[in-house]
Chains A and B, each alone.
Chain A
Amino acid sequence: MEYKLTFNDFNKSLKRNKLMALKCGDCEKITVPPKMVCSECASTNLEIIQLEGKGKIATFTTNFVAAEGRECEAPYIIVMVELDEGPWIMGNLIDIAPKKVSMDLIGKRVVMGVKVFPGDKYSAGDMARPLFSFE
């Protein structure tokens, strides 16, 4: 059975600032990132949709110790954002100095942009990532 929305297609869209997802024709739940089946009911009755890319910060951290090859990125802010459509996604946050963040961030409205991670020797190519800023 064919994979409806592959990583490659999702990644290509994300690079153009379009956040793609799957909507279940049976239970209506939205699945993102894409999977073979609906993450709620395992149905394959899925339609590709585009999400708004807006939501609120559910949690965050400022990371000071990056993985090998990414040291120059630190410190940087990682967030998990609860999208208006329901699912959470992980991304980075700009618009605020990494050392200035506090618990006040939780609940703040954000809007998605994009930045490409060029990849390393283990990553099988480059990958786009959501880059959030305040709405």
Chain B
Amino acid sequence: MKKVAVIGVAQTNFSAAQEKTEVELFAEAALEAITKSNLTPKDIQALYLGNVLGDFSEGQGMVQAFAAENIGCKNIPANRYEGACASASVAVRDAYMWVASGFYDTVLVGGVERAATLGTALATRTFAMFSDSRYEFPSGITFPAVFAMLAHLYASKYNIPLEKLKEQMAQVSVQSYKYGMHNPKAQMKKEVSIEDVLKSFMVSTPIQLHDCCPFSDGGSALILASEEVAKKLTDKPVFITGVGQSSAGPLSNQSEHLPRIYSREVSSKQAYKMAGKTPDDIDVCELHDCFSIASLIAAESLGFFDFGTSGEAWMKGEAGIGGKVAINPSGGLKAKGHPIGATGGGQVYEIVNQLRGDVEPERMVEGAKVGMTDTLGGDGGTLVNIILERGW
């Protein structure tokens, strides 16, 4: 297999409901990524696009074809990826494999979503489509409710008083808001305290409003190229050195491992093995913090902290910049925003910028050489991990 580099990266502002179309949002990110790579649209051989709910938000299916044509990538193969919130990461992994195989040299990958445009009621309904529609949606399951049940299970399994766990969860949000303040592309720009989180509106016990990421609109785009092509175009190629992907069935059928998301353990092991890295080697990680409790669960399955202890780690600053591993210096899904089809692309965008030292000083992970992304779709149904390293 060939080595594959990320060259130009871009994302739109992640935001609340806005008026640009999905094609327009993606086009803005795509042209920026293409231009930053010293390429033109005619150089792009294929498009891999994450998009989940365009059918519902705009009545637009097959958006990838219109997106490719719109940016002057005429008649190239264009594929849409739907892996719920992990869609763009699935697209990145597939794009990686097409370049690694030698079939293509230069491809465009990313995602786009208008989840905020859906409004809370329809967004809640459509996000629930990533739980089992026959056997679990009838009970009224929603996305916050999934993680709410995992939070109670986490408290019970690791014998942590709920009050204490809630404070630790709140600290996860406090840290993310803090970094998001310094990210110009972030949706939420405000400082919150543990008290603010604990006073916020109850969504699904024990998860409150500030434990949840927002619904977001936004797009992301990356150029992947073979090593030979990358060397001609940039002196700072970031190599994809490990990828992993896994799947799982309905939440209740994952009972053997809950509150751990076992598909994450399968996926991250693949990525670590392929890259020849261990959790200790990761300097910076963008992980899937759709809810505060999701961060604690993710950090443990990724091997950063022992099971049941990552809340303590957040409280002590070990999950922040300057700690054991810098988690979500972008502000994460919580503060940066979560336009689901674009999210994985946004995570890679952040890691690439961190490895290049190309971020605001207040949230920079100094000297980071190895980064990782972690993207979860549904309640564990799709899981993708990507390890990226400096190539200079």
Contact = CB atoms under 8 A, between A and B. Distances in A.
Contacts of A122: 125, 129, 133
Nearest to B136: A90
Given A80-B149, A80-B255, A88-B252, A33 B125 contact: no
A63 B140 contact: yes
Contacts of A91: 139
A118 to B, nearest CB: 10
Contact of B155 (A82, A87, A88, A103): A103
Interface string A91-105: 110000000010100
A33 B253 CA distance: 9
Given A60-B152, A103-B155, A122-B129, A65 B252 contact: no
Contact of B255 (A11, A63, A74, A82): A82
Contact of A71 (B121, B129, B135): B121
Contacts of B181: none
Contacts of A87: 252-253, 255
B135 A63 contact: no
B138 A128 contact: yes
A110 to B, nearest CB: 14
B260 to A, nearest CB: 13
Nearest to B203: A65
B138 A80 contact: no
B62 interface: no
Contacts of B203: 63-65
A61 B149 contact: yes
B138 A58 contact: no
Given A58-B153, A101-B205, A90 B251 contact: yes
A78 B142 CA distance: 10
B152 A106 contact: yes
Contacts, number: 121
B139 A68 contact: no
Interface in A29-54: 33, 35, 39
A127 B137 CA distance: 9
A129 B156 contact: no
A116 to B, nearest CB: 8
A1 interface: no
B232 interface: no
Given A63-B144, A67-B125, A33 B250 contact: yes
B204 interface: yes
A113 B150 CA distance: 24
A85 interface: no
Given A67-B125, A101-B205, A76 B149 contact: no
A62 interface: yes
Interface residues of B, number: 41
B162 A63 contact: no
What's the dominant secondary structure at chain B's contact region? helix
A108 to B, nearest CB: 12
Given A67-B124, A103-B155, A106-B156, A61 B137 contact: no
Interface string B40-68: 00000000000000000000000000000
Nearest to A82: B255
A39 B253 contact: yes
B142 A65 contact: yes
Given A65-B120, A67-B121, A78 B153 contact: no
A65 B140 contact: no
A90 B148 CA distance: 14
Interface in A16-33: 33
A28 to B, nearest CB: 16
Nearest to A101: B205
Interface string B120-135: 1110110011001111
B200 to A, nearest CB: 12
A29 to B, nearest CB: 11
Given A63-B145, A68-B125, A78 B139 contact: yes
Given A88-B255, A90-B252, A61 B138 contact: no
Given A58-B153, A76-B140, A90-B136, A63 B253 contact: no
Given A63-B140, A65-B144, 20 more contacts: A39-B249, A61-B205, A61-B206, A63-B203, A63-B204, A64-B203, A66-B142, A67-B124, A67-B140, A70-B140, A80-B149, A88-B253, A88-B255, A90-B135, A90-B139, A90-B252, A106-B153, A106-B156, A127-B138, A129-B138
7 contacts: A11-B134, A63-B144, A63-B145, A120-B125, A123-B133, A128-B138, A129-B138
**Closest 3 CB pairs between A and B?**
A61-B148, A129-B138, A68-B121
